[in-house]
Amino acid sequence: MKISRGLLKTILEAAKSAHPDEFIALLSGSKDVMDELIFLPFVSGSVSAVIHLDMLPIGMKVFGTVHSHPSPSCRPSEEDLSLFTRFGKYHIIVCYPYDENSWKCYNRKGEEVELEVVEKD
């Protein structure tokens, strides 16, 4: 799986803008490249973000989730692991200071997976 550099920059900027609160969104795109965010209503604070998955339109292609941690740890919490098992295959956590080295991707089991960062035409 791949993620576009543009989407990664957008995610990092969204996390910076939300700081010190968390933000959460869904990852979408085409074929094997994540290059879009889907924003649904969510509630967030400095220790959690809850997205209303029941408001996702039918038929939307969703690869997984992305959310931020306002701390310097990208390690998934128990709540994160619960979300991972319920929705999507890829789950990105971005953490403070929200630079290009401050993110990790996990699978449904909470195991770290590599995403290739690509330029999107």
Domain-by-domain residue ranges, the chain? 2-118
**Helix spans in 1-121 (H):** 5-18, 78-86
Specify the pTM.
0.88
Query: Which element (helix H / strand E) includes 92?
Result: strand 90-95
3-class state of residue 71 by DSSP: coil
Q: How many residues does the chain have?
A: 121
CATH superfamily assigned to domain 2-118? Cytidine Deaminase, domain 2 (3.40.140.10)
Q: Each residue of 39-95: pLDDT tens digit? A: 775 556 455 556 656 656 677 789 999 999 999 999 999 999 998 998 789 999 999
Tell me if 69 is assigned to a ligand binding site.
Answer: yes
Q: Is 80 assigned a ligand-binding role in the annotation?
A: yes
Closest CA to 39 of 69, 19, 49, 112: 49
